[in-house]
Chains A and B, each alone.
Chain A
Amino acid sequence: MADVMTICPYCGTGCSMSLSVTDNKIIDINGDPTHPVSEGELCLKGMYGFKHVADPGRLTTPLMRRGDSFVAVDWDTALDAIADQLGVIKKESGPDAFAVFSSARATNEENYVAQKFARAVLGTNSVDHCARLCHAPTTVGLTMTLGDGAMTNSIPELGDVSDLIFIIGSNTAECHPLIAKHVLKAKARGAKLIVADPRMTDMANKADLWLRIPLGHDIPLINAMLHVIIKEGLQNTDFIRDHSNGFDDLARAVEDYSPERVSQMTGVPATDIAAAGRAFATAKAAATLYAMGVTQFSCGTGNVVSIANLAVVTGQIGRPGAGVCPLRGQSNVQGACDLGALPNVYPGGRPITSEPDRLRFEEAWGVALSPKVGVKITEIPAAILAGKVRAIIVDGENPMMSDPNTQHFAHALEKLDLLVVIDLFMTETARRAHIVLPAGGWGEKDGTFTNTERRVQRVRPAVLAPGEAKADWWIFKALAERMGYQGMAYDRPKDIWDEVRRMAPTAYAGMTYERLETTHGLCSPCPAEDHPGTPVLHAGGLFHTPSGKAALKPVLFHPISVPEEERKAFDAPIIGHIAERPDNEYPFMLTTGRRVYHYHTGTMTRRAPLLEQIGPEELIEINPADANALFVRDRQYIKINTRRGSVIAKAWVTERVPPGVVFSTFHFWEASSNEETNADNLDPLSGIPEYKVSAAQVTKSSAADAQASVAAKREYYRQDVETAAIVEMRAHAAASA
């Protein structure tokens, strides 16, 4: 038996864990008491969510589609077929006919190779990943205002230093349990907790002050807080003068947002809004935590910019415990962004439109690079339907379930000439692919992850990948070689990392594998080998914006539409509204999110029997008042219907949601809320869809209807194709043995 130290594959907290391994099998997982974030603890996903590694459904050979099913083939056959077809499409339609979906759960090294493959081998900047669907507004909004699109502080500072924690749009207890623990630690020290959330999450329940704003009303709330702060002279005048631009415009913009007016708009008492503003401004160190409840709106970037405005005006930034903390959802989503798996930036966050940067990458990679910004994931379905994108490589994502408006997405996939999926399992997306490649997964791979506080940590292999499964970087390298590109002569992840350190030196030059080996990771940026890493960004009020100062921006909001005169009063304000509002036909608002016991589309956690037992099925939260009106009792079936699709699942009658709102998740193909979400109302600045609000109908349903609905979804998501593929792979393994 051996113990292997690695990092949890699930949320962005980045807890450290030790895997006990016997006979090439992970048998037990324990926390790491020396780790500064997790301090020996793990949540249930970290501790019990590892059974997928040895699951009999793991992909063990490449598979090629034949008719409605798949045949197992060897690597040469699969790779040759892909390379040939990519070559033909490139000749016919040019490099922008390709798109690559990279993965927030692949390592930094693999993300680097994936984006390099897209840019240097395929010749397109159309490489993106699921951050588009979660924290794209963070990247855009914080870069615009503060110069860096990342969490400004380290997690332990929350527990040790912050004396006010403002959580807005983050269900921290369920989505980042070990960060919630640091919030509790702060509370035990006497720190105050203010939570703004339409749902009564467990954080809201623990708050000293809970502001139950309606869905999507973050901008008016923060504007009203700023209104009070400025009116009462609580702003940090020195900080504003020395370290920011644009204060006068912002002050003028928030003048209209008196707590009284916003109270009318939101139903939150004006005194509570004022109290929140005062407490935030007068705290010694205030940190704002936020997540999808801020970003997944058609004004997601506006919401993020508001949060940055609040931090800068009060000077609550650039010090330990004071800052802006976007909580990132996936184990390596920060890394995937930093390593350039985005259509507009190179590794290290340099824009592809910057000539000197492009030249530097052209020289290093030995090819000419496209200066054209690529297509975002959320624009892909339209690009396919318009005939612009013809081939997609999906590396470790399951967009059939994670992307909005499933039907529309599935319809687009049908039009592709080539869909290649690299994954651990025959996912809902893989079942629609032409070629499926088996990947090595967490527990089998070597490399690094970057957690939400920018801590780059080593992930280590504990067991061998099953069958012929290969690491993602190996797959991209093999494809690149077949397509005639020689610039990927890597033997192991360390070779890739050393190239990353050369190509993005300000962020990573100081992070050698040797250093990462002997520390609990280092927070980027870490530009030199004697540099300790950077737990606190913007120390001393230094911002990486062109002016070196934070850029304050007016953000205006009206639930329906901001009046023309209000817009015209400012130079380029950010505007927010709710795109799809309830009406007579669709009187409810559906909002979406996650539950603690499952992870995203469930490809991993639903293969952990212990987790599946605790969360075996979708539960739709509905307020008791609404349930009574519909004659629905707790755990009876209800049907949610939007303009795009419908699901049937059991009701959880609970005060967690306010009247008029229902909440559901995308963990279960049997009832995936993404069949109902909206792919059309994108945030114009970041391209994120408005997952958090869809107008919906809610009706009472029955067990019989639920059963019929599951049967239909089984067909729709091609559950049987997975079974057939597993049989095929077993036969292949037996034949070659």
Chain B
Amino acid sequence: MNRFVIADPKLCIGCYTCEVGCVEVHVKVGLVGIPRLTVTHTVAGTMPMQCRHCDDAPCEQVCPVKAITFEDRSIQLNESVCIGCKMCALACPFGVITPYGALPQGETSMTYGGFLQPTPAPVTETPVHALLAWTVGQRTVAVKCDLCHFLPEGPECIRVCPTNALRLVDEETVITSNAERRAASVEAIATGDGLALHHPGL
């Protein structure tokens, strides 16, 4: 089973610390400097969205140049091999692949100095599809969560989130959590709570 990071919307306060942490560590190792998770606000709640590392990953299947591969119980995207065709972004059911115009390695992708500067005007103001809007002169590659595979201590977003809203789910987590749920269900039924099952969460 592949591993993935997921947030608990009950704990997420929408503070974007995870996004910044993500940029910081990727820039340090020379990868594209944009967040690989996106804090998403909805009426029902707020949490960052990032790659689920699908076991039968649609992005991996559609990639024409094998830039996306299965490695070490995760789905990895090689930014150097990527040709920027955006197929994976269209295929991802969660919308968590971001095509991004890359800058030279090691540079943060935006600098301060006023808006309109960091995000140059798009090619067209109303593109056919948002994914197809990009700026001339920069090579676009697909960017997504890589579980910070280069960090021995694991995903940086988990480390920096001030409310501990994020966690890594792996086989072991699922086994433990399933066991807990089974036990809770038995307890609920045995104590006469009937089918009012508890959901202690993953």
Residues of A with Cβ closer than 8 Å to B? 41-44, 47-48, 173-174, 177-178, 180-181, 184, 200, 202-203, 205-206, 596-597, 606-618, 649, 654-656, 668-671, 702-703, 706-707, 710, 714, 719
Complex Cα spacing A192 to B68, Å: 46
CB contacts (< 8 Å) of B194 on chain A: these are none
Residues B110 and A613 in contact, CB atoms below 8 Å apart: yes
Kindly list 8 other residue pairs between chains A and B, CB separation below 8 angstroms, not including A48-B20, A610-B20.
Answer: A44-B160, A177-B162, A202-B41, A205-B43, A206-B10, A616-B110, A710-B114, A710-B115
Contacting residue for B13 out of A180, A613, A615, CB 8 A? A180
Residues A41 and B114 in contact, CB atoms below 8 Å apart: no
Residues A609 and B14 in contact, CB atoms below 8 Å apart: no
Residues A612 and B162 in contact, CB atoms below 8 Å apart: no
CB contacts (< 8 Å) of B1 on chain A: these are none
Query: Any chain A CB within 8 A of the CB of B46?
Result: yes
Residues of B with Cβ closer than 8 Å to A? 10-17, 19-21, 23-24, 33-35, 41, 43-46, 108-112, 114-116, 118-119, 121, 125, 160, 162-163
Complex Cα spacing A47 to B23, Å: 13
CB distance from A610 to the nearest CB of B (A): 5
Contacting residue for A44 out of B15, B44, B119, CB 8 A? B15
CB distance from A240 to the nearest CB of B (A): 36
CB contacts (< 8 Å) of A710 on chain B: these are 114-116
23 A-B residue pairings within 8 Å (CB atoms): A44-B21, A44-B160, A47-B20, A177-B17, A180-B163, A181-B163, A202-B14, A202-B46, A596-B14, A596-B16, A609-B110, A609-B112, A610-B23, A613-B23, A614-B35, A616-B119, A617-B116, A617-B119, A655-B43, A668-B114, A668-B115, A671-B115, A703-B121
Complex Cα spacing A174 to B16, Å: 9
Residues A612 and B43 in contact, CB atoms below 8 Å apart: no
Nearest to B161 among chain A residues (CB) is A41
In the A-B complex, list the 8 residue pairs whose CB atoms are closest, starting with the nearest: A617-B115, A173-B13, A41-B162, A612-B112, A44-B17, A613-B110, A616-B118, A202-B14
CB distance from A619 to the nearest CB of B (A): 10
Complex Cα spacing A180 to B165, Å: 13
Nearest to B18 among chain A residues (CB) is A44
Complex Cα spacing A615 to B16, Å: 10
A44-B17, A48-B20, A703-B125 are contacts. A613–B11 as well, Cβ < 8 Å? no
Residues A714 and B114 in contact, CB atoms below 8 Å apart: yes
A44-B20, A181-B162 are contacts. A612–B110 as well, Cβ < 8 Å? yes
Nearest to B117 among chain A residues (CB) is A616
Complex Cα spacing A616 to B14, Å: 17
CB contacts (< 8 Å) of A655 on chain B: these are 43
CB distance from A652 to the nearest CB of B (A): 9
CB contacts (< 8 Å) of A706 on chain B: these are 116
CB distance from A663 to the nearest CB of B (A): 13
Residues B116 and A707 in contact, CB atoms below 8 Å apart: yes
Complex Cα spacing A719 to B20, Å: 27
Residues A614 and B20 in contact, CB atoms below 8 Å apart: yes
Complex Cα spacing A702 to B111, Å: 23
Residues A43 and B17 in contact, CB atoms below 8 Å apart: yes
Complex Cα spacing A356 to B112, Å: 52
CB contacts (< 8 Å) of B21 on chain A: these are 44, 47
Residues B15 and A43 in contact, CB atoms below 8 Å apart: yes
Residues A174 and B15 in contact, CB atoms below 8 Å apart: yes
A184-B11, A184-B13 are contacts. A670–B112 as well, Cβ < 8 Å? no
Residues B13 and A656 in contact, CB atoms below 8 Å apart: no
CB contacts (< 8 Å) of B16 on chain A: these are 44, 596-597, 614-615
A180-B163, A654-B41 are contacts. A670–B116 as well, Cβ < 8 Å? yes
Nearest to B10 among chain A residues (CB) is A206
Complex Cα spacing A264 to B84, Å: 56
Residues A177 and B119 in contact, CB atoms below 8 Å apart: no
Residues B17 and A47 in contact, CB atoms below 8 Å apart: yes
Residues A205 and B19 in contact, CB atoms below 8 Å apart: no
Nearest to B17 among chain A residues (CB) is A44
